[in-house]
Structure 1
Amino acid sequence: MDKQSAIALGVTAGLGVGYLLGKAQPSVPRVKAGQKPTTDLDEVERLIRPNILSLTPYRCARDDYDQGILLDANENSLGPPLQGHSQLQAMELERYPCPYQPELKNVITDFRNQNSTEKISQANAFLGVGSDEAIDLIIRVACTPRVDNIMITPPTYGMYSVCANIHDVGIVSVPLQIEAPAENLKGLKPDLPLPAFHIDPQEILNAATDSTKVIFLCSPGNPTANVLRLEDVETILNSKKYKGFVVVDEAYIDFSDTASLCTLVNKHRRLIVLQTLSKGFGLAGIRLGVAFGDPKLIQVLNNVKAPYNISKLTSDVARKAFSNLDELRKNVNLIKEEKYRVIKELQKLSFVRCIYASDSNFVLFEIPHALSVYRQMAGRGVVIRYRGNQHLLTDCLRATIGSREENDRMLELLVEVYGEQ
């Protein structure tokens, strides 16, 4: 190789960090592996593992050029065997997708900016294969195995612990607390507030140590269903004691009347908000999740993700869904109306011990013999979820809101099976 070619090759390789389709992105300082972060790093950069900050990411073929005669990525230029499927052929599936999906990010952030005084841009958005990919990457970039820990607030979504265990990261648990209105302690009286789950921010702060790098909060909760109070989340974010990331998982936020926190990620730079198209948008099959955060964190997540994690098919379907938001709102409202009906029907059943508040598309309730009832209902073709093995949820079942006919059959079978206990 001659000197000029070697220089050109070195320049091309060096463009790996901080460039997106030829446009400069927020730079991430380079730190040598094993080196401790210095005081020159800001509050976000100090939370990233040094070896991740020093990473030169994989260089995608589409990073530099996506037009012209493309002979750089060893794709099959003759295309896939999809003759007769004109819509699929038009998508040029023989070509790798854009690694960063800027058009889709713009559509998503425009949607989330509606009715918000705080604004976000595509620089605040990371796209993953469901929000589970973002959960995994956040732990991977922030937590050193066998040194650091995450904090969870059980009962909560199980993937936080699964990902921590995969990466050999410790887990600290600070349980949620049940707050029940005095006039409706068990949620069995109609048209009154229902018991709900909330965090105690002071208990969380007391339990956090210098090794706690990520706190995972679920709002609306899964399986607890209700949203957390903004003031409780901000108490943690504004604390001088805890300086790690706070992740608010909003998978079910489109069913809630409470606004998303995603547009606050520029105000609170250590805040990360997770969302998904699997729930409110009804697109669980395309596996698309979003993490909103500080641009420097988003750049780090882009550096460590798989090169082409979002397929053309996923991107195309998602963009079509965002062009039909009236249908989204109609479906969400129908599910919410049906949920309120199901809650009222459950309140009529003498064996139901407790019903919890829901800002989601499911209802959490307690009955005697819950495990046996769950198993027998599943055996007869109606599958709900047994949650009685989680903290605070003894004898609890979680029922997703389906169609009116599905919900009626669920309620009918619930009564039938319980009567056999």
Structure 2
Amino acid sequence: MKIENLIRSNIKTMKPYSSARDEFEDFEKEMVFLDANENPYENGVNRYPDPQQKSVKAILSKINKISENQILLGNGSDEVLDLLFRAFCEPNQDNVITLPPTYGMYGVLANLNAIENREIILKDDFQPDIEKIMKSVSERTKIIFLCSPNNPTGNSFSDESIVTLLKNFNGLVVIDEAYIDFSDKESWLEELNDYPNLVITQTLSKAYGMAGIRLGIIYGSKEIIAILNKIKPPYNINLLTQSKAIERLAKLDVFKNEIALIKEFKEYLLKQLLEVKFINKIYESDANFILIRVDNAELRYNQLVKEGIVVRNRSNQPLCDNCLRITIGTPEENNKLLNTLKLLPDA
């Protein structure tokens, strides 16, 4: 498979915008910057940020043992996912494959970019139906999106299924690993250089606890990243976001401790939920949330809201009738949830 065969024709020939900070990159020297029409009075944010976020990428490169030219950062994962559509999918011609129940933005971005979204519902065990996926692939299929661990189900997809797609699909296989840090499974980053069509997205919004700064990450071959760099907005990651990310990534010991606590709280919650009489099923989870099937999801959701607790009703998703998704909170929040659930009246 050649990546160049997947690129939109207009993207191949377009000339990218070159910002002032792209043309002069030596930030180490003490220079007088009169090139970007900035306000010259120093206030900490009067200058444009590094458009390539080199300091952040250097840290991520070291942590994940991935070359910096295989990393692109976006304004949340949503931006990097959107860039994939813009770079590789021809509007009103190409299609992508998604596997509901899954992250809803894949479908939203497909619609936004006028790309057909071929939905292949997961099997009853929430694993990909490889046979149906491959039968749905056409010569205009550019991307297959896999969310693993999956949202909202919480499970990881089998390695065998993913390898089968990587080896047999002549397009991009995008693995969304937003929740990978909560899983005992290894990231697919270790396989990145073995599969030219493998693309991995991650985020600082979940495990790193930085949802407010909106920093998404995409890892891929240097060829794929070069294409995405060609079309990304010039200053898509602001200075404050870069600074907070560097600060947080420097505290990996704190991060690892928080992950361990969240996983411990999840195990406690899983055991205690067994005592709630109207819960019909509790699904296994590799993420920082638990999917449960109850007698009446709408009723239970509204009852919890009245008690000051907000969970997510996922009943509108395939295979998720009467399912609620519960994020793992602090011990105090988890106990409030459990005490409330155990006291709710019968339907």
- What is the TM-score normalised by the length of structure 1? 0.80
Q: Distance in 1 between matches of 2:297 and 2:99?
A: 23
2:108 alignment partner in structure 1:
162
Q: Secondary structure at the match of 1:378?
A: helix
Provide the C-alpha distance between the structure 2 equivalents of 1:272 and 1:61, rounded to a whole number of angstroms.
Answer: 30
| Structure 2 residue 20 is matched with structure 1 residue 61 | yes
Structure 1 position 420, deviation (Å): 4.7
Contact 2:61 2:68 in 1 (8 A): yes
Deviations 1:329-373 (A, max 9, x none): 100000001001101111122221111110110000000111111
Alignment partners' CA distance in 2, 1:349 and 1:378: 17
Per-residue deviation, residues 241-262 of structure 1 (Å, max 9, x unmatched): x211100000001101111112
Conserved 8 A contact 2:11-2:87: yes
Q: Distance in 2 between matches of 1:178 and 1:251?
A: 23
Alignment of 1:194-343 (within 5 A): 197-239=126-168, 242-343=169-270
Q: Equivalent residue of 1:332, what SS?
A: helix
1:50 aligns to 2:9 (yes or no) = yes
**1:124: which partner in 2?**
70
* Structure-2 separation of matches of 1:395 and 1:375: 13
Using the size of structure 2 for normalisation, the TM-score is 0.96
| Counterpart for residue 316 of structure 2 | 389
Structure 2 equivalent of residue 363 of structure 1: 290
1:177 to 116, 123, 126: 123
CA distance in 2, matches of 1:384, 1:155: 17
The share of aligned pairs that are identical, in percent, is 42
Please give the alpha-carbon distance, in whole angstroms, between the structure 2 residues aligned to 1:178 and 1:232.
15
Report the Cα distance in structure 2 between the residues aligned to 1:110 and 1:199, rounded to whole angstroms: 33
Distance (whole Å) between structure 2 residues aligned to residue 200 and residue 365 of structure 1: 23
Q: For residues 380 and 341 of structure 1, what CA distance do their matches in structure 2 show?
A: 22
| Offset at residue 416 of structure 1 (A) | 2.7
Q: Which residue of 1 aligns with 2:38?
A: 75
Correspondent of 1:98 among 50, 56, 59: 50
Do 2:275 and 2:342's aligned partners in 1 also have CA atoms closer than 8 Å? no
Residue 173 of structure 2 aligns to a residue whose secondary structure is strand
| Superposition deviation, residue 266 in structure 1 | 1.9
Question: In structure 2, how many angstroms separate the alpha carbons of the residues matched to 1:263 and 1:100?
Answer: 24
CA distance in 2, matches of 1:105, 1:263: 17
Q: How many residues align?
A: 343
User: Residues of 2 paired with 1:177 and 1:337: CA distance?
Assistant: 29
Deviations 1:298-353 (A, max 9, x none): 01111111110111111111111111111111000000010011011111222211
Instruction: Return the offset for 1:178.
Output: 2.9
Matched, 1:377 2:304: yes
Counterpart code for 1:232: S
SS in 1 for 2:174: strand
Matches of 1:201 and 1:100, distance apart in 2? 37
Instruction: Give the CA deviation at 1:202.
Output: 2.4
Give unmatched runs, 5+ long, in structure 1.
1-41, 81-88, 114-119, 180-196
Give, in angstroms, the shift of residue 198 of structure 1.
1.2
SS in 2 for 1:132: helix
Asked whether the equivalents of residues 276 and 341 of structure 2 are also in contact (C-alpha less than 8 Å), the reply is no
Alignment match, 1:36? none
SS in 1 for 2:218: strand
Between the aligned partners of 1:51 and 1:265, the Cα distance in structure 2 is 27
Q: How far apart in 2 are the matches of 1:290 and 1:280?
A: 13
Q: Offset of 1:402 from its aligned partner?
A: 0.2
Aligned counterparts of 1:101 and 1:173: Cα–Cα separation in 2: 35
The residue identity in structure 2 corresponding to 1:132 is D
Say which of 57, 64, 80 aligns to 1:134. Answer: 80
Indicate the RMSD between aligned Cα atoms, in angstroms: 1.2
CA distance in 1, matches of 2:123, 2:73: 32
Cα distance per residue 1:256-300 (max 9 Å; x no partner): 111111232221111110000001100001110100011111011
Given residue 223 of structure 1, which amino acid in structure 2 is its aligned partner?
P
**Deviations 1:52-74 (CA, angstroms, capped at 9, x unpaired):** 11111111101122451110100
**Map of 1:414 onto structure 2:** 341
In 1: Cα distance, 2:276 partner to 2:333 partner: 18
**1:149 — aligned with what?**
95
AA of the residue aligned to 2:61: T
Q: Secondary structure at the match of 1:262?
A: helix
Q: Report the secondary structure of 2:124's partner residue.
A: strand
Structure 2, unaligned stretches of length 5 or more? Answer: none
State the shift of 1:175 in Å: 1.0
Letter of the structure 2 residue corresponding to residue 236 of structure 1: L
Distance 1:144 1:413 in 2: 50
Matches of 2:293 and 2:35, distance apart in 1:
59
Name the CA distance, whole Å, in 2 between partners of 1:363 and 1:198.
Answer: 17
Match of 1:300, as an amino acid? I
Max radius of gyration: which structure? Answer: 1
